[in-house]
């Protein structure tokens, strides 16, 4: 019953925007990850650490576009379902539910704790960092189990990449506001 009422908070337009953000996040992954491997390979850092900020930005952008609590978690849930059901690049099987869902929850938690909804540079920056660090950490715990020093290096790179992704999401939101495409304070 609670789920049904929670979903009623989202309009059809909101749900379409979230589906688009989920799809774009998945579609960009096969392009960005190989490019990131060029940088991260010699450093023995998993490529998803750097690439993550650029496909996590869609979670932050979606949260800013829709402006409602739970948006990023819902986008990441849709991504997890897509990856598992279609078997898209980078799937980790059923574990994808956790590895995809945690970054969305992290974005929503940052926005909840700051009282923001993807409305300013600071909250978008922090949400991007939280998304990429949480995803990087969970993938490390489940799959890579890096030693402490490479893990710290990976989490630092994830913070930088995630923060940059948040800044890009904010820049897109600002451009949409200037073009009067985005009506709410987001």
**Within a domain: 126:** yes
In a domain, 86, yes or no: yes
Q: What is the pLDDT averaged over residues 165-185?
A: 87
pLDDT band of residue 186 (cuts 50, 70, 90) is: very low
Closest by Cα among 124, 139, 9 to 59: 124
Q: Which residue has the tokens 């300013």?
A: 120
> Nearest-5° angle of CA 83, CA 70, CA 30?
25
183 lies in some domain: no
Q: Residue 6: inside a domain, yes or no? A: no
* CA dist 121 → 3, 49, 58, 65, 152 (Å): 31, 22, 15, 14, 25
Please report, for the domain that includes residue 163, its CATH number.
1.10.1760
- Whether 74 maps to a domain, the answer reads yes
For 95-109, the three-class secondary structure string (H helix, E strand, C coil) is: HHHHHHHHHHHHHHH
How many residues can be counted in the chain?
186
- Render pLDDT for 31-86 as a digit per residue (tens, 0 to 9): 888 888 887 777 777 777 888 888 899 999 999 999 999 999 999 999 999 988 88
Residue 4 lies in a domain: no
- Is residue 157 situated within a structural domain? yes
For the chain, the domain total comes to 1
Range of the domain at 91: 13-29+46-178
Whole-number percent of the chain with pLDDT over 90: 53
The residue among 143, 140, 114 whose CA lies nearest residue 126 is 114
Q: What is the pLDDT of residue 53?
A: 87
pLDDT digits (tens, 9 = 90+) for 103-151: 999 999 999 999 998 889 999 999 999 999 999 999 888 888 888 888 8
Flag whether 135 is in a domain.
yes
Q: Which two tokens stand for residue 26?
A: 């998945």
């Amino acid at each position: 019953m609670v789920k049904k009422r929670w979903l009623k908070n989202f309009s059809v337009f909101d749900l379409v925007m979230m589906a688009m953000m989920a799809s774009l996040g998945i579609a960009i992954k096969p392009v960005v990850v190989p490019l990131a491997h060029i940088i991260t390979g010699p450093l023995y850092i998993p490529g998803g650490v750097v690439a993550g900020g650029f496909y996590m930005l869609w979670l932050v952008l979606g949260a800013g576009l829709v402006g409602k609590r739970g948006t990023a978690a819902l986008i990441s849930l849709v991504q997890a379902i897509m990856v598992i059901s279609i078997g898209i690049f980078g799937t980790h099987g059923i574990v994808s539910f956790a590895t995809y869902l945690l970054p969305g929850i992290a974005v929503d938690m940052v926005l909840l704790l700051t009282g923001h909804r993807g409305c300013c540079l600071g909250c978008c920056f922090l949400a991007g960092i939280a998304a990429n660090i949480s995803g990087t950490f969970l993938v490390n715990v489940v799959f890579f189990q890096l030693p402490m020093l490479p893990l710290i290096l990976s989490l630092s790179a994830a913070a930088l990449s995630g923060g940059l992704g948040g800044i890009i999401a904010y820049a897109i939101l600002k451009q949409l506001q200037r073009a009067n495409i985005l009506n709410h304070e987001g």
